Structure 1
């Protein structure tokens, strides 16, 4: 784009045919003003685009000088050179006796250069993908690529933004975005990124094990059930655990490296095509793979891998199939179980437990005289919903007790002392149990939207906060007053009545000694006023229009 004395180079893809190559070169020559090869070629920007104004009160928050931060000797020359460039270009102005002082933060780039300021304007369109400091102009067909680039360059010219020519590549079928290689085939790991992981020796210290696992966060979505493969490594990170690199650790270390040699290519999902979800459930971890079938090759392609390490309380949860069934009932997902190997439902048990040919058939059926078995229905029990509300006005707790016949008995209390959300949840639960004891309830089902209170009461979560210990012990003492009691977590959407009572109690101003009885809430199915029927006029509705047309 430049001259022999001052060459200006732009990179284009080698996969372009001669016609596309010529059109691309002519297009870039036409829009070469959107590129900047130096600071001198960058125009001034509108402050409304790039300026971030902070309305600070300098009287209450006076400026403070930061302590001088020493830089490495290898960076001092680069910092000095960069500052001189920006002063010559007019980006920086020398200021004497400044009250505001900020240290320079150099950021190393891939090509060895440093940058002190990174400016990028948000331009997200249907034809452009923007991610922090990376931008991609994309198109499915080659003919539409120049059209999308023209829209992008016109926007750049409008706001006087410039592209760094050294970081631009046009007409490419693949490229690096946020550390991954993106192409028409899908997304895969960058070989340069995983090179450091492949060349790592076996760790000899806990710090090296932790560093190895942190590097794996980059490729966690490309390895199936990574958490289960790293269980032996997680064991080394436990408190007071000895650093013993045994055969299982070395096996997990080699298995992960083997995955990096032939990493999976993740493909984007195709709309209006069923998704396939594979689950692998262990006691300590959960792994899943989301895939989709390719109609052309009839093969399954991976979209995303996910793995999760269960916490101590989560490992005691019910089976994952129960949670999946709850998920399937809410969303439009079809569950397809594994088909039998024999193709029939009876073939499997017959093949597993064969009988001899000479075995006589037993024609005696037990309990053949029983004609019908009725299931005893459980009688409805009392139910209790509780919730809390903590806001800037105050705190309040509320609960509603529901009898077997459907009668509602609300209770609420204003918490007149400073407390956290968790403490208020315990206060609400204790209030609900005390109200049930006053009603002499023997069997009670308690519902709340506080996972902490419910799961700590059930024993699935440990109580670690010292403030909650006395509440937890008192709650267990109150539970002994019932012959049968259960605690169930319910979402906020199904606990609106108790939440409304708690909010009302928190915002109301109640003096000491005053008791406010709960209000009776009626259901108004129609307006309070009577229906008004307008009398029909003798003249038609268009009488005024006709007079206007006749008389003007």
Structure 2
């Protein structure tokens, strides 16, 4: 009636699961394609720039399954910034082994029900802002999608609060279809909602305006009952918070003027 034509060779019916858009979709949820995981597991440690590029490309194909993907891949991306001086460091070796270990047991991603509220956890480090969208399944928060954004330029000098809001904004951009179709509960112990509502500064006003189209609610974080989320980067980096809490330094400029009672400061 609608003129739709199907290729019988590409259609399957009455099955409990199968590959769809490069993933394995089953009754249990969404699983990473084993072929894409094996492509990394079977790699030797990169010995050339091209092999590092292959590694980061294969990671990108699995990003939605990888917690803190940008943090995990940071040593590899540092190599690509200086392609004329390839150097595989101990940090790279460690990151490569940890990536393989993580992918040996990749998380199973849950499928949201239409209209149900989804929960968002935020995390930040000195290098990246990350988030994980989850759903509540019998009191346990199951991951739906991981996102990660590496800081560019001045973003690395943002305050802790700004980095967390950037994690939220980046997740909203990446997961726009989810944010439009579901109420999103942001689980955080930081006053992000209040900061966005006040909208002080052009950057905060821009972010607030961008997030206004979504149905967002902010709630305090509770105890994490799923190990896959317990392993997710904590909401803040203790060293980062310590740095941001250091007393602000002021510089005083004296113009040299004076009166009978005091000197001037300007």
TM range (shorter): 0.5 to 0.7
Q: Structure 1's 309 and 185: CA in aligned 2 closer, same or farther, altered over 3 A?
A: same
The TM-score with structure 1 as length reference comes to: 0.31
Partner residue, 1:184? 27
- CA–CA distance in 2 between the matches of 1:253 and 1:206? 15
- CA–CA distance in 1 between the matches of 2:72 and 2:16? 34
Tell me whether 1:220 sits opposite 2:60 in the alignment.
no
Alpha-carbon shift at residue 175 of structure 1 (Å): 0.8
Q: Superposed, which structure 2 residues align to 1:160-199 within 5 Å?
A: 161=5, 163-164=7-8, 166-199=9-42
- CA–CA distance in 1 between the matches of 2:57 and 2:125? 22
Partner residue, 1:248? 91
- Asked whether the 8 Å contact 1:284–1:309 carries over to 2, the reply is yes
Find 1:337's aligned residue among 211, 217, 220: 220
- CA–CA distance in 2 between the matches of 1:171 and 1:214? 34
Alpha-carbon shift at residue 272 of structure 1 (Å): 4.5
- CA–CA distance in 1 between the matches of 2:36 and 2:74? 24
Find 1:268's aligned residue among 94, 111, 119: 111
Alpha-carbon shift at residue 322 of structure 1 (Å): 5.6
Alpha-carbon shift at residue 336 of structure 1 (Å): 2.3
Partner residue, 1:259? 102
The TM-score with structure 2 as length reference comes to: 0.61
Q: Structure 1's 245 and 339: CA in aligned 2 closer, same or farther, altered over 3 A?
A: same
- CA–CA distance in 1 between the matches of 2:131 and 2:57? 21
The Cα offsets for residues 209-239 of structure 1, whole Å up to 9 and x where unpaired, read as 0111011111000010110011111111123
The DSSP-based 3-state class of the residue aligned with 1:185 is: coil
Alpha-carbon shift at residue 339 of structure 1 (Å): 6.5
- CA–CA distance in 2 between the matches of 1:288 and 1:255? 20
- Asked whether the 8 Å contact 1:235–1:241 carries over to 2, the reply is no
Alpha-carbon shift at residue 300 of structure 1 (Å): 1.1
Find 1:312's aligned residue among 153, 165, 186: 153
- CA–CA distance in 1 between the matches of 2:141 and 2:4? 46
Work out the number of aligned pairs and report it: 181
The DSSP-based 3-state class of the residue aligned with 1:262 is: coil
Partner residue, 2:123? 280
- CA–CA distance in 2 between the matches of 1:262 and 1:339? 25
- CA–CA distance in 2 between the matches of 1:189 and 1:240? 30
- Asked whether the 8 Å contact 1:292–1:301 carries over to 2, the reply is yes
The DSSP-based 3-state class of the residue aligned with 1:214 is: helix
Q: Structure 1's 239 and 160: CA in aligned 2 closer, same or farther, altered over 3 A?
A: closer
The DSSP-based 3-state class of the residue aligned with 1:303 is: strand
- Asked whether the 8 Å contact 2:63–2:69 carries over to 1, the reply is yes
The DSSP-based 3-state class of the residue aligned with 2:217 is: coil
Q: Structure 1's 339 and 199: CA in aligned 2 closer, same or farther, altered over 3 A?
A: closer
- CA–CA distance in 2 between the matches of 1:322 and 1:193? 32
Structure 2 residue runs without a partner (length 5+): 167-191, 197-207, 224-266
Query: Which protein has greater RCO, CA pairs closer than 8 Å, 6+ apart?
Result: 2
Tell me whether 1:207 sits opposite 2:50 in the alignment.
yes
Partner residue, 1:290? 133
Partner residue, 1:302? 143
- CA–CA distance in 2 between the matches of 1:321 and 1:285? 10
Aligned-residue CA RMSD (Å): 2.6
Alpha-carbon shift at residue 167 of structure 1 (Å): 3.1
Structure whose alpha-carbon radius of gyration is higher: 1
Which has the larger share of helix?
2
Alpha-carbon shift at residue 196 of structure 1 (Å): 1.8
The Cα offsets for residues 504-548 of structure 1, whole Å up to 9 and x where unpaired, read as xxxxxxxxxxxxxxxxxxxxxxxxxxxxxxxxxxxxxxxxxxxxx
